Structure 1
C-alpha cells in the first residue's frame, strides 16, 4: 500500500483533485463569524475544521468549489444576503492568501491556477432558496463568480423537489425548467445533488448543457435518497455531465444510515441543528458516540461507489466531492482534505489506470465547466422574462 500511496501522490502532483463541494465558508461563519484572524487557514490547523492550506496541499487539491451554502431556514431576502456574505468570505480568503488560492471563473482559469501552482477557487451556491425565486438574482450570483447552483438543499423550493422532503412539484415546475434554461444560457452548472430523483430526470430532460452532482454517490451501493439512481447515472453519458462521489458516511455506508438518524435526533433533543459542527455540537456528538459506537466508513467504502459509478456512467462522467466541513463525520482514512491520496491509492490497488484517475481527479470537472461555457457562448436567447407569477405553473 505504501507503494500505491507514493504513486498516488505522484499522480496528484500532475493531475490534482478538483473537489466539487467544501463547506469551509459556512464553518467560518458558524465558528468565528468570518473573523479570519481567529481562524487563519494558513497557520491554524484547527481540530474544528477539516480544511486549511497545509492540508489542501498535502491532499493534492488543485481546485476547490467552495460552497456558498446557507441554511434553508434563512428564507427570502435573508437567504440572498447570507449567500452574498458567503461569497464575500471566499473572496476574502483568496485575497488573504494569494500565493495559495486564486479565484477562478472559467476552465481556463482553473488551468492557469494549476500552472501557477495555486489552488483554483470556484464557488457553488447550495440550494435554490439562495435566489429567492428571482432569475435576476441568479444572474447576479453568476456575475459575482458562482459557477454552479444546487437546485435544492434538504427542503423543497417552490419550483423543485428535494430528495429529503415530501414531493410537491413532481420534479420541476415550469418556472423550475426556466431556472435550468437560464443557468444554461449564462453558463452556470446545474447541480443535482440534494434533489429528488424526479427532479434529476426533469433537469436532465431540460438541460442543454452538462449537469453535475457536486457531492452524491451511488444509490445502488447505499440506498439513501441523497444518492444517484442507476438510470440517472446511465444518462450522464448522453448529457456529458459528472457525478462527484461524496465521503459523507451516512450516504455511502448502509450501516451508518440508521446510526446517523439517531445521532441527528440526539442533536435536536439538545436544541441543536443536526448539521451544526460548532464545538458545542461536536461535544454532543462525541458524548453520543461514546455510548453508541459509530460504524466507520473508509476510503474503500468510497472506492466501492466509484467502482459502481464508473461501471454505470463511464469513466468520463465521475469525479470527487468530499463535503468536508459540511459533515460532522468523515471516513477514518479520509478524515480531512489531506486524505485524498488514500483514496487514489485504494483505486490504484484496485487496478484503476493512471489515465482513468487523471480524468477522475482533474480532467472531467474541467471539461464539464468548459462545456457549460461553450453552451452559453452558443446561446443567443436573451435573459428570461419569466416572473414570480410563473412559480406555480
Structure 2
C-alpha cells in the first residue's frame, strides 16, 4: 500500500518526495482524527461480527481497516457511535448502547493494534505501546434521550464527546439542517453543556445550527470541538462553520476539525447536493433523513453524476480555519465511512499523508503540521479534563430534567 501512495498518477497528487516527508512526520506525530463511522458500517454489514468484517486485513466494503490506518499514519481515532436522528429517543439510546458495545468488542478483538482511550494520557500511552488510540464520540443529542443520567452513563462507557444534534433538532437544540425551533439551546440544552463540562466530555458543535454554536460558546466553561466540519466562507452549506464562530475559538480554546465530505468542501459538490435535495423533496424524501436521502441520492447520482472534490480544496479549508481561528485551533475529522464519496486522493484512511504533503507544499512547517494532526486535539482534551477536575470540586451532578427546565 505504500507504493500506491507514493505513486503520483496525475497532477492532483502531491509529489512523491513530499509524500515521503509527510509519512515521516506522521510516524513521529501520529494523527488523531475526529470522526470515523466504521461502527455504523459494521452494524449495517455484519451486526458487529468482527470475524465476517475482519479489519485486520484490507476490507473492500469500507474506507477503514487496520492496514490502511497504519498506512495513513493514524495514531488516534474517535469512533463515532452514531445512530440516525430519525429514531425515537428510547430506540436511539438502545442503538447507541449497541454501537458502544460494538466498538468495545472491536477494540478487544484487535487488542494488539487498538487501545481504548478515555483521556489524553491514554492516547499517549497507546502511542508508546505502538497501538492506535480508540476513543468514542456520540453523534447527536438524541442518543441521550433528554436524560442527564444517560449522558453520565455514556461517559462511564467511554464516550468523550457528544455532538449536540445530528441532522434533526432535538427537543433542546437546533440542528443546522432542520427548521429552527428553540433559538439555539433551551435551558435544558444549556444544562447538558454544563453537565458535559463537569464530566469532562467535549461539546461537539458539528451538525448544529449557527445559533446553537453561539449559545453553546456562551455557556461552556471548557473548549469545544467541531469533530467534522469545514469553513462556511469557502463552501456555503449549513453544515460548515461561519467565520465569526471560527474567530471565537481562540477565546474558547476549541478546535475545528476540517472534514473531507465533498458536499462540505467543494462548491460544485455542494450545489449538486442542493439539486439532489430538491429532487428528493419532489418524491417525498427529506434530505435531512440520513438513511432515506442516502438511498435516494445513490440512485439519482447515476443520471446526475456527483462532481469530485480535491485534496487542494480540503487544504483550502484547513488554510482558512488557520487564517481565521489560528494555528492552535485547527484539526482533521475525515468522516470516513460516513458518506459515499471522498476527494480524489483521500478515498480512504490511507490518504492522510497526501493531504499533509499538500500542506507542506504550501509552506506549512513541521511544527505547525504537528499541531494540526495531533497536538491541538490533545491540548483540547487536556483542557477539558482540567476543567472537569475543577468543576467536580464545586458542582454536583445535575438532577434537573427537561420537563422541569423547559416545561
TM norm. shorter chain > 0.5: yes
Separation (CA, whole Å) in 1 of partners of 2:168 and 2:284: 22
RMSD over aligned Cα atoms: 2.0
Separation (CA, whole Å) in 1 of partners of 2:113 and 2:273: 35
Q: Is the contact made by 1:248 and 1:323 (CA closer than 8 Å) also made in structure 2?
A: yes
Q: Cα deviations across residues 279-304 of structure 1 (Å, max 9, x unaligned)?
A: x959x72x644432321111111000
Separation (CA, whole Å) in 1 of partners of 2:168 and 2:295: 22
Separation (CA, whole Å) in 2 of partners of 1:390 and 1:360: 42
Q: State which of 231, 241, 255 in structure 2 corresponds to 1:228.
A: 241
What's 2:372 paired with?
360
Q: Is the contact made by 2:86 and 2:168 (CA closer than 8 Å) also made in structure 1?
A: no
Q: Is the contact made by 1:100 and 1:118 (CA closer than 8 Å) also made in structure 2?
A: yes
For residues 373 and 390 of structure 1, do their structure 2 counterparts lie closer, same or farther at Cα, with a shift above 3 Å needed?
same
Report matched runs for 1:136-151 at 5 Å.
136-151=149-164
Is 1:343 the counterpart of 2:339 in the alignment? no
Separation (CA, whole Å) in 2 of partners of 1:132 and 1:258: 34
Q: Secondary structure of 1:243's partner?
A: strand
For residues 30 and 264 of structure 1, do their structure 2 counterparts lie closer, same or farther at Cα, with a shift above 3 Å needed?
farther
Q: Secondary structure of 2:343's partner?
A: coil
Is 1:3 the counterpart of 2:17 in the alignment? yes
Q: Is the contact made by 1:4 and 1:348 (CA closer than 8 Å) also made in structure 2?
A: yes
Report matched runs for 1:182-331 at 5 Å.
182-263=195-276, 275-276=290-291, 281=295, 285=298, 288-331=300-343
Separation (CA, whole Å) in 2 of partners of 1:224 and 1:261: 9
What's 1:25 paired with?
39
Separation (CA, whole Å) in 2 of partners of 1:276 and 1:355: 41
What's 2:97 paired with?
84
Q: Secondary structure of 2:406's partner?
A: coil
TM-score for both structures, normalised by structure 1: 0.95
Deviation at 1:357, TM superposition (A): 0.3
Q: Is the contact made by 2:174 and 2:182 (CA closer than 8 Å) also made in structure 1?
A: yes
Separation (CA, whole Å) in 1 of partners of 2:291 and 2:62: 12
Q: State which of 46, 54, 67 in structure 2 corresponds to 1:54.
A: 67
Extract structure 1 runs of 4+ deviating beyond 6 A. 265-268, 270-274
TM-score for both structures, normalised by structure 2: 0.92
List alignment gaps of at least 5 residues for structure 1.
none
Is 1:369 the counterpart of 2:381 in the alignment? yes
Q: Is the contact made by 1:275 and 1:327 (CA closer than 8 Å) also made in structure 2?
A: no
Is 1:390 the counterpart of 2:404 in the alignment? yes
**Corresponding pairs, count:** 389
Separation (CA, whole Å) in 2 of partners of 1:337 and 1:96: 20
For residues 168 and 270 of structure 1, do their structure 2 counterparts lie closer, same or farther at Cα, with a shift above 3 Å needed?
closer
Q: Cα deviations across residues 346-370 of structure 1 (Å, max 9, x unaligned)?
A: 0000000100000000000111011
